[in-house]
Structure formats: structure tokens, C-alpha cells
Amino acid sequence: MIGISLTNPFFQIDSTYMIIIEPSFLINSSPLVKTYTLEEFFDLPEPTDHSKLELIHGVLYMSPMPDWRHSTIVEIINRALLTFIIHSKSKGKLYSPRAGIKTGTHTWVEPDLFYLSSELLNSFSGEMPHTADIVIEVLSLSTEKYDKTTKADTYEALDIRELWLVDPQDKTIEIRENLSSNKKWEKRVVYEMGDTLQSKILEGFELLIGEVFKN
């Protein structure tokens, strides 16, 4: 079950400081969970085990460092998208891990990859992005429920236009679409082995699902 960290060595704070992402992850809405501002969040030390920290509405979440398979899939998708962006002469930008999306004073999430069109980039006027055109999350056994519920709900509220949920276990990619900017997923499409993924945001982009999971 989900637990509140009691003994994590890199923070010697009280026992309610974060929610640990586990395979059986459930939402914990206990009022005892400590909340943080972004200023406090950015002052926290880096976890010694390289776990990823994210802040959602003031609640601190920690997910374990992904395995090599996860990293390989991120690299395959990253390479395919970069190749398309370069060849199509798109003025948009693709951001890789450790870049983040910030909103308000209490939320910071780090997708595996995210894409900003030139129009969206220009609207930020040099500020940190608070939304994105495409967000990509590669699931793992430890983060699957978190990515598909808490984090996906957060992306929905942030008006992300396309969310890709890449599942190495089922060898599928689910795309959730919000093309009307109404903070609500309007459509879900699941691509399986043998299918070709197509993006509504990156017109002309195609990705063979078999190429993503070939290793």
C-alpha cells in the first residue's frame, strides 16, 4: 500500500513529508501530509538514490529511478520526435527529463518528454512553461498507477493537449486528447503492436509501435 516515508535517509524531517510511489499506489488525502510551496520544494536536497521528486498541489511525491528499459524507450521516442521536428523545420521544442512544467506556487511535474509548439513557446514570453502541447510518460511497474491517475489528472487540469501513456508491459501507447482547451480529456486512443501512432498536434508525424518496443 502507499506509505508515508518514515526512514528515508536524505531528509531528516517529520514523518509526514512525502508520498512514496509504490506499485500499489493509492491517493492519500490525509490532512497530516505536509504541503510545500515551490520555493520550499526547490530548496530540498537531491535524493541520494536519484529518485524523482514532484510537487502536485503542494504534496511531495517521490518515484524511484527508472530502469534501463524505461530509459531505452524514452530515447527511441525522443529520437523519432527530434528527427521529425528537424526535417519538418518545426520551430517547436522538445524537452527531455529533468525539464519541468510549473503552475502557480504549488505544482512542479517532470514528464519523461514534452513538446511545446512555437505558438505556445511565444506565449510564455521567457517564463517557465505551465502547460504543453504534448506530454509523454513511459510507465513502469512502480509508477503506472500514479502516472495514469494522479499525474494524468494533473495534466488534464493543466490543459495538456495530448498525453501519451507508453506501457512497456502491454506494449501499447494510449493517447488522451484535449484539443479544445477545456481541461477535460475528450478522447482516448490506444495503439497496439502493428499499429502506427499519429499525432493531432504534430501533423504528419507517425510512429510504428513495434519500433518503440522492439528491444
Q: Is residue 5 part of a domain?
A: no
85: CATH:
3.90.1570.10
Backbone torsions φ then ψ of 91, nearest 5 degrees: -95, 5
Within-domain flag for 74: yes
Residue 122 lies in a domain: yes
Q: Which residues contact 168 (CB under 8 A, 6 or more apart)?
A: 69, 70, 73, 138, 139, 140, 213
pTM for this model (two decimals): 0.87
- Asked if pLDDT for residue 12 goes beyond 60, the answer is no
How would residue 212 be classed by pLDDT, with cut points 50, 70 and 90? Answer: very high
202 in any annotated domain: yes
Q: Which structural domain range is residue 111 located in?
A: 68-212
pLDDT tens, residue by residue, 98-148 = 899 999 999 999 999 999 999 999 999 878 999 999 999 999 988 999 999
- 10 Å CB burial of residue 99 (0-12, 13-18, 19+) is middle
Which amino acid is located at 34 in the chain?
K
Residue 10 has pLDDT above 60, yes or no: no
**Nearest one of 92, 95, 83 to 206, comparing CA atoms:** 83
31 in any annotated domain: no
Taking only the tens place, the pLDDT of each residue in 47-84 is 888 889 999 999 999 998 888 999 999 999 999 999 99
State the chain's mean pLDDT as an integer.
Answer: 87
Q: Are 131 and 162 in contact (CB under 8 A)?
A: no
- Domain total of the chain: 1
| pLDDT tens profile 23-55 | 555 455 555 678 899 999 999 998 888 889 999
Query: Is 129 a domain residue?
Result: yes
Residue 55, domain member (yes or no): no
The answer to whether residue 75 is domain-embedded is yes
